[in-house]
Amino acid sequence: MLLKRMKRQGCGLKVFEIFRIALRGLLTNKLRSLLTMLGVIIGVGSVITLVSIGEGVRASVSEQIQGLGSNIILVTPGKGTVGINSSSMGGALSRLTYDDALAVERKAGTVSSVAPVIESSATVEYREDRKFTLITGTTESYNVVRNAPVAAGGFITRGDIRSMRAVAVVGDTVRKNLFPGANPLGKTIKINNKNYKVIGVMERKGPTLTIDNDDRVFIPITVAEQIFDTKQVNMMFVRSINPESVSDAVSDTKRIISGRHGKRDFTVSEQEDILDTFQGIMGTLTGMLGGIAGVSLVVGGIGIMNIMLVTVTERTREIGIRKAVGAKRREILAQFLLESVFISALGGIIGIGAGFAGARALVNIIPKLPTVVSPWSVVVAFLFALLVGLFFGIYPARKAAGLNPIEALRYE
């Protein structure tokens, strides 16, 4: 039947017929075709899923940073790049102090408020319940500078700081763990075996990746200095009087602290610098994740080439017949290339669905892990799958097209 159809066409096959024969070749061995495209399915699905993690993390943290406002400046101990300094890398100890923050707030006309922070973990107790959480020693400016409003009660005051009052403001997670179904205001909790009166509950902020922003307790910075036996602050958040004065506020902050320390042993970063650095890091990480997943696409391409070589061997006699009745070399080449591309294209389409499903499954398994499936990752993964099919299909197709028709007809 195939021979009769080829004879009717005379000199070679038309484009539509090449497509039809290539598709029929795939459908003849459905299970083998499915197993062949499995590598492409896994590859495309992995690329989309892993890139969605990187994009989700980038979007989530960027939103948190931008939520602080465009006029926030971060001061950290040690001289280094944004977010990377000597103290955080195990170098010199912090020399930033609460007095530095007061000096900046008092002397810098471009600064509206400063929130120094001392942070350490400790066990918080209420009656028989205990919770290991983050203790944040700070000032009355914190909830304004960090855009962290109070849901009930009040926040730390300047009077609490001056008088070193043992008061505390609890985050929403701490409230749920220590005071389930009860109002914590006015209750007494213990931090390092010292009593603190709960004066407020913070409004829920939600998680950043796997970090729970509500799992913390705020106390006056002077009390934190005492219980943690330190005068050094971990960081300072500085708020300029308006977005236009950020650069001047950076200059003023550098000048004032440098004057107090006698040298630049700290790093001042604008929100835009922090965001740009983070975006760059996450862009590199996302690319690495996509590259790692792309390796499986290459492996899938090798699988396609192996199967196509087997297919050429199995259909040697058919190739000889087609060449004998006038099929040109380029038509044989096109047929087997199309079969290879069909496998990768269909695998890519199924892989896109698998990628979306994988991203959704990750959210269900790890609710705090954000995922964002970006259109560019879908397009790139699918095009790469097509290129893999084309590249790894060239050798088998050339081998088929180069067969000697007489030898092919004799093949058993």
Give residue-wise pLDDT tens across range 251-271: 888 899 988 888 888 888 776
Say if residue 237 is in the same domain as residue 101: yes
pLDDT of residue 12: 43
State the pLDDT confidence band at 319, using cuts at 50, 70 and 90.
confident
State the pLDDT confidence band at 14, using cuts at 50, 70 and 90.
low
Is residue 29 classed as helix, strand or coil in its secondary structure?
A: coil
**Cβ within 8 Å of residue 128, ≥6 positions away:** none
Q: What is the mean pLDDT of residues 89-100?
A: 68
pLDDT of residue 278: 67
Tell me which of 237, 264, 291 is where a domain ends: 264
What is the β-pairing status of strands 150-153 and 72-77?
unpaired
Say if residue 211 is in the same domain as residue 327: no
Burial of 116 (0-12, 13-18, 19+ CB in 10 A): buried
155 phi and psi, to 5 degrees?
-105, 180
pLDDT of residue 327: 74
Say if residue 293 is in the same domain as residue 153: no
CA distance 261 to 255: 10
For the chain, percent of residues with pLDDT exceeding 70: 82
Say if residue 258 is in the same domain as residue 285: no
CA distance 77 to 92: 9
Give the CB-side neighbour count of residue 386, counting CA atoms within 13 A.
9
pLDDT of residue 66: 59
CA distance 98 to 242: 23
Say if residue 218 is in the same domain as residue 282: no
Give the CB-side neighbour count of residue 14, counting CA atoms within 13 A.
7
**Does residue 71 lie in a domain region?**
no
**Does residue 104 lie in a domain region?**
yes
Burial of 338 (0-12, 13-18, 19+ CB in 10 A): buried
CA distance 249 to 238: 8
State the pLDDT confidence band at 159, using cuts at 50, 70 and 90.
very high
**Does residue 13 lie in a domain region?**
yes
For the chain, percent of residues with pLDDT exceeding 90: 25
Amino acid at 138: T
State the pLDDT confidence band at 19, using cuts at 50, 70 and 90.
low
What is the β-pairing status of strands 167-170 and 194-202?
parallel
Q: Which of 45-54, 228-237, 403-412 shows the lowest mean pLDDT across its residues?
A: 403-412
Going by C-alpha positions, the residue among 220, 180, 192 that lies closest to residue 124 is 192
pLDDT of residue 6: 44
CA distance 316 to 226: 86
Q: Where are the beta strands (DSSP E) in 78-227?
A: 111-126, 129-138, 150-153, 167-170, 188-191, 194-202, 207-208, 211-212, 216-220
Say if residue 101 is in the same domain as residue 135: yes
Q: What is the mean pLDDT of residues 279-301?
A: 76
- Distances in Å between the Cα of 2 and the Cα atoms of 7, 73, 339, 342, 403 are 9, 76, 18, 22, 19
Helices (H) and strands (E) in the chain, counts: 14, 12
Mean pLDDT over each residue of the chain, to the nearest integer: 81
Say if residue 215 is in the same domain as residue 282: no
pLDDT of residue 291: 78
40-49, 170-179, 283-292, range with greatest mean pLDDT: 170-179
401 sits in which H/E element: helix 375-401
**Does residue 6 lie in a domain region?**
yes
Q: What is the pLDDT of residues 118-142, one digit of tens each?
A: 999 999 999 888 899 999 999 999 9
In total, how many domains does the chain have?
2
**Residue 199 reports pLDDT greater than 50:** yes
State the pLDDT confidence band at 84, using cuts at 50, 70 and 90.
very low
Q: What is the pLDDT of residues 220-233, one digit of tens each?
A: 999 999 999 898 99
**Does residue 115 lie in a domain region?**
yes
Q: 158 pairs with which residues across the strands?
A: none
Say if residue 240 is in the same domain as residue 333: no
Say if residue 215 is in the same domain as residue 294: no
Q: How far is CA 305 from the centre of its chain?
A: 34
State the pLDDT confidence band at 4, using cuts at 50, 70 and 90.
very low
**Is residue 337 a contact partner of residue 398, using CB atoms and an 8 Å limit?**
no
pLDDT of residue 189: 94
Q: What is the mean pLDDT of residues 308-332?
A: 79
**Does residue 8 lie in a domain region?**
yes
Identify the residue with better confidence: 166 or 371: 166
**Cβ within 8 Å of residue 218, ≥6 positions away:** 136, 137, 138, 142, 155, 156, 168, 169, 170, 171, 202
**Residue showing tokens 């539509």:** 16
Amino acid at 307: I
**Does residue 333 lie in a domain region?**
yes
Say if residue 248 is in the same domain as residue 283: no
**Residue 276 reports pLDDT greater than 60:** yes
74 sits in which H/E element: strand 72-77
State the pLDDT confidence band at 50, using cuts at 50, 70 and 90.
confident
**Does residue 239 lie in a domain region?**
yes
DSSP 8-state code for residue 244: G
What is the β-pairing status of strands 207-208 and 211-212?
antiparallel
Q: What is the pLDDT of residues 340-378, one digit of tens each?
A: 888 888 888 998 998 888 888 887 777 667 778 888 888
pLDDT of residue 191: 92
Say if residue 191 is in the same domain as residue 321: no
pLDDT of residue 358: 85
Q: In the chain, what is the straight-line distance between the N-terminal and C-terminal CA atoms, in Å?
A: 20
CA distance 285 to 287: 5
Tell me which of 264, 296, 318 is where a domain ends: 264
Tell me which residue range forms the domain holding 132.
96-264
- Distances in Å between the Cα of 111 and the Cα atoms of 98, 211, 223, 232 are 16, 30, 25, 21
pLDDT of residue 202: 94
Tell me which of 231, 264, 297 is where a domain ends: 264
Identify the residue with better confidence: 407 or 185: 185
Q: What is the mean pLDDT of residues 301-311?
A: 83
**Residue 208 reports pLDDT greater than 90:** no
CA distance 155 to 146: 13
What is the β-pairing status of strands 72-77 and 194-202?
unpaired
Say if residue 350 is in the same domain as residue 372: yes
pLDDT of residue 233: 93
